[in-house]
Chains A and B, each alone.
Chain A
Amino acid sequence: MRKFKDNLLRGLLWFSAFLTVAVLVTIVGYIFYKGYRLINFDFIFGDYSPAGDGGIWPMIVTTIYTIAISLLIATPIGILAAVYLQEYAKQGRLVKTIRFATESLTGIPSIIYGLFGAVFFVTTLKLGMSIIAASLTLTIIVLPVIIRTTEEALKTVPHSYREGSLALGTTKLQTLYKVILPSAMPGILSGIILSIGRIVGESAAIFLTAGTVAAMPESIFSSARTLTVHSYLVTQESGDIELAAAIGIVLIVIILVLNLSATFISKKLNKADY
């Protein structure tokens, strides 16, 4: 009987794992199958033309800009905030409130952030519909994600590491920098990777803050169109599933490359000093 239960559980676990992988493979496979014929050099690096035979280079550039700018702002602020909350702040009511607030913020639908961005960054700060307005909005969207994951990562660093380091006559800052942050790095990294996913996947908030101009942005103050917004619009306007799938392939590749390089960089960082 026990053995039967054991086997049943094992089967269930195996089945769940199989199902997850199968769904993933099916989706990715379908997108590749639908879109691969459109992928060529001109499609990726060519300029956009409204006629429909142009490339998507402007959207790729816009996407990369928004990822870069949002992460550049959100990562340092998020990590510093998490370090403060977890390592320095007195764990009282205020910190609990802040923590509750960040947790709630991760659950708010992005359209709300988009509306806020449209009012605050676009109009009040007079940034106009632009890459920068969208990036700032995205920063606010991913900031709670980075804070939460970094805090969780810091929590998993054993207290004995801190004690061991401090007992050797090091300062709190040295301990943080040399022992705690490196140990928390994998967790922090997964927060950044999650954020990349969140940024790339975002359409509504970007739509409202960066607009839909399908041209190479002149600067970060130009209105522009990201890949996701583009793929949404082509499906919406012309029902061109093949084109949307091709854009999907490019998105998947971009995410893959970014995640791999994030992992690689953190490994390098981890080794650099030791």
Chain B
Amino acid sequence: MGCMLMSTTVIERNNAEKGNFSQMKQHSGEAAKISVTDLNLFYGEKQALYNVSLGIQEKKVTALIGPSGCGKSTFLRTLNRMNDLIDGVKITGDIVVDSENIYQSNDVIKLRTKVGMVFQKPNLFPMSIYDNVAYGPRMQGIKNKKELNKIVEESLRGAAIWDEVKDRLKTSALGLSGGQQQRVCIARAIAMKPEIILMDEPTSALDPISTLKVEELITHMKKDYTIVIVTHNMQQAARVSDKTAFFLNGEIIEYDETDHIFSMPQDQRTKDYVTGRFG
């Protein structure tokens, strides 16, 4: 009985979602930078994502919110195929980035160059600040000192950390504060000249002031990059994002302009979540 009830709601919601989705497309009139269709993901036998479909727009900040364990990180990591690292992951459905189906192409390297990632905990390598930022470009074969210097400076400026570290570029990156490290991580991602940057709770390990700096940075960065950010912080989603997707148990419940999600959510569960009544 309960099962039947559930399945009806699913159908209803799917219809509503599809309605929303096409409406959104008509409204904006622009093609999505990333478009995801019917994405299912399994960790072995266990399904973690169910029929996820959404379009992520270019040079916008898209926030992914939802309670712990609902599949936000899993979804984010499908976008640069980081889940490939985990044994036994099975994926169905399509993800198209700039009209290229990323799961049909085998060039993961090219994809990850285009789609950068910033992790929850700063994960700089045990090298100098300079070498951390120059790491990616060097691996692509750039050896010219002048060129590297330029990339490092531009990237650190782009991550609003240049002034704080310019006098200590050759010292260990692990000597920086957590907030500074996270911005160097962003610089390291920028150094690859990506088009899309994925961020998985980039401020959850930071103090409020560092958090504010990173948020400011994200707002600036959307001029140049398409950003997808996972966050547990509702205020943060409201402050930095243009669009918000609400995940629950591996499904997208609602996806809309951030303003709408927070002021007039369509689904009761979204409403409960954003007003803090569960999760």
Question: A interface vs B, CB < 8 Å?
Answer: 90-91, 158, 160-171, 174, 178-179, 182-183, 274
Contact = CB atoms under 8 A, between A and B. Distances in A.
Contacts of A162: 85
Contacts of A274: 127-128, 131
Contact of B135 (A90, A160, A168): A168
A26 B124 CA distance: 45
Contact of A178 (B110, B117, B139): B139
Q: Which of B80, B111, B117, B135 has the largest count of A CB atoms less than 10 A from its CB?
A: B135
A171 B123 contact: no
Given A160-B121, A178-B139, A167 B80 contact: yes
Given A167-B80, A169-B140, A171-B109, A178 B87 contact: no
B116 A167 contact: yes
Interface string B55-90: 000000000000000000000000010100101000
16 contacts: A90-B87, A158-B123, A160-B119, A163-B123, A164-B124, A164-B125, A167-B80, A167-B117, A167-B119, A167-B189, A168-B112, A168-B136, A169-B109, A169-B113, A169-B136, A174-B139
Given A163-B119, A168-B112, 5 more contacts: A163-B123, A167-B82, A169-B110, A169-B113, A183-B126
A161 B123 contact: yes
* Dominant secondary structure of chain A at its interface with chain B: helix
Interface string B123-160: 11111100100011001100000000000000000000
Contacts of A171: 109
Interface residues of B, number: 28
Interface of B: 80, 82, 85, 87, 109-113, 116-117, 119, 121, 123-128, 131, 135-136, 139-140, 185, 188-189, 192
B125 A165 contact: yes
B109 A170 contact: yes
Q: Which of A178, A179, A274 has the largest count of B CB atoms less than 10 A from its CB?
A: A274
A161 B189 contact: no
Contact of A179 (B109, B111, B125): B125
Nearest to B131: A274
A171 B112 CA distance: 10
Contacts of A182: 126
A168 B121 contact: no
Contact of B85 (A163, A170, A179): A163
A92 to B, nearest CB: 10
A158 B122 CA distance: 12
Q: Which of A91, A162, A169, A178 has the largest count of B CB atoms less than 10 A from its CB?
A: A169
A171 B85 CA distance: 12
A272 B251 CA distance: 49
A274 to B, nearest CB: 5
Contacts of A170: 109, 136, 139
A163 B139 contact: no
Given A169-B140, A178-B139, A164 B85 contact: no
